[in-house]
Chain A
Amino acid sequence: MTVNTVSTFFAVGTILLGAGLITLALLWAASLVSDRAAAVLEAVAASFDGLGLRLAWVMAVTATLGSLYYSQVAHFIPCEFCWYQRIAMYPLSVILGIAVFRRDESIRRYVLPLAVIGGGLSTYHYLIQQFPNLEVGACSTIVPCTTAWVWKFDFVSIPLMALASFGTIVAVLLLDRPSRRSPAATMEPTTHQEAM
């Protein structure tokens, strides 16, 4: 199994996650104006009932292992921004795991800020990869944050994979909130709007 094969798998996964996240964002926007979209969003959110923590944990572990694969197996050297994103992602794979086994829903308050900060770092890192000429006139061989180690389908790089991972963690935790779970009958049909 070559680095190219693994990267292709991660890139396809990133595209699928990205498509899902964009669909969710559009659905949420539509739900603000359309009852029908709101009903669909409610059904989507209900599908995540009780699964949010587990899915977020699986995502964090997958991202962590992917990151370690790139540095330890493929020998890609993490640049400065890679490290900041690792600082935001790696703890999630541990604390979400503990929360899953303890069924500790309050972990959201700790996980969401980390994931949002990590997503912001990924976004900035991806932008400087897209516009590397903003930096100096030569490509360093040492730790270039501006040049992508992986560039699949002409747009998927490692920080984009990280962004999709952080985005997925945020999305599944917001979709599966304890407050929106049972007793479902007591919930007003309109309360879903604050879910995203």
Chain B
Amino acid sequence: MTTASRQTSPRKFPLVPVIFGAVAVALVVTIILTFDSGTVEAFGTPVVTGEALAPLGDGVDAAVGQMAPSVAGENFTGDAVTITNDGRPKMIILLAHWCPHCQNEVPVVQAWLDAGQLPAGVDIYSVATGTSSTRENYPPQTWLEREGWTPPVIADDQAYTVGDAFGLTAFPFWVFVNADGTVAARTTGELSPAVITQIVQSLVSG
């Protein structure tokens, strides 16, 4: 940059072609990445019967004592899974694949099950809801398989019908149901094995 001529006309890069080139590259990369992403079926077509529970709020849970709704759905391989008033106490955990607290809780619950902590008379169900293909850790079935998740899973639909029926407000969402089909308790967040054991024991002892 010593001569006057170079100072008056500094070297330039062809900026506009570079910008259009970058946009073209982004388009091509997008087409390549999304062309054959396969059709992973992460949603089901569950049918809910019975009255939906109110969304869980702060304070006393009005849904306690109310009959829990019944759900007839399918797992990710198309096998029927039904949550209904069958005279057995049950615990239902609603999970979202993208939620870090669900990601933490799944191995905790699985270890609790593997340790034989679930009483013989109590059933456990899970619901994969809040599912979104744009979000982290998608699809949910890959995640649950990786974690060696053994409880039956109902795949919720895109309207999150099952989540709404149980009054889901946060993940993970827990619903504990008495043997007579009424809601014993609902709560959100990560529960420790000791707390899960305590609640489930109270279901058994009625």
Contacts and interface: CB of A to CB of B under 8 A. Distances in A.
Q: Do A and B bind each other?
A: yes
Interface of A: 2-5, 7-9, 12-13, 16, 20, 39, 42-44, 46-49, 51, 55, 74, 132-133, 136-142, 147-152, 154, 184-185, 187, 189
Interface stretch (B30-38, B44-52, B110-118): B30-38
A8 B12 contact: no
A151 B98 contact: yes
A44 B133 contact: no
Contact of A9 (B26, B102, B136): B26
A141 B170 contact: yes
Given A43-B11, A47-B13, A148 B136 contact: yes
A126 B7 CA distance: 42
A16 B19 CA distance: 10
Nearest to B188: A138
Contacts, number: 109
B142 interface: no
A5 B101 contact: no
Interface string B173-191: 0000000000000001110
B168 A141 contact: yes
Interface of B: 1, 4, 7-16, 19, 22-23, 25-27, 29-30, 33-34, 37, 96, 98-102, 130, 132-136, 163, 168-172, 188-190
A42 B11 CA distance: 8
Contacts of A44: 13
A184 B102 CA distance: 60
Contact of B100 (A147, A150, A154, A185): A147
B12 A46 contact: yes
A183 to B, nearest CB: 8
25 contacts: A3-B134, A4-B37, A4-B134, A9-B26, A12-B25, A12-B26, A12-B30, A13-B22, A44-B13, A46-B12, A47-B14, A48-B15, A136-B189, A137-B101, A137-B189, A138-B170, A138-B171, A139-B99, A140-B170, A141-B170, A142-B169, A150-B135, A185-B4, A185-B7, A185-B8
Contacts of A189: 1, 7
A148 B100 CA distance: 11
Contacts of B9: 184
A47 B19 CA distance: 12
A8 B32 CA distance: 10
A139 B172 CA distance: 7
Contacts of A2: 34, 133
- Which 10 A-B pairs rank lowest in CB-CB distance, beginning with the nearest? A138-B189, A139-B99, A151-B136, A137-B189, A138-B170, A47-B13, A43-B11, A9-B30, A139-B171, A138-B188
Nearest to B132: A149
B22 A16 contact: yes
A167 to B, nearest CB: 15
A7 B133 CA distance: 10
A172 B168 CA distance: 46
Contacts of B190: 137-138
Contacts of A4: 34, 37, 133-134
A188 B163 CA distance: 66
B11 to A, nearest CB: 4
Name the residue in B9, B10, B170 with the highest tally of chain A Cβ atoms < 10 Å from its Cβ. B10
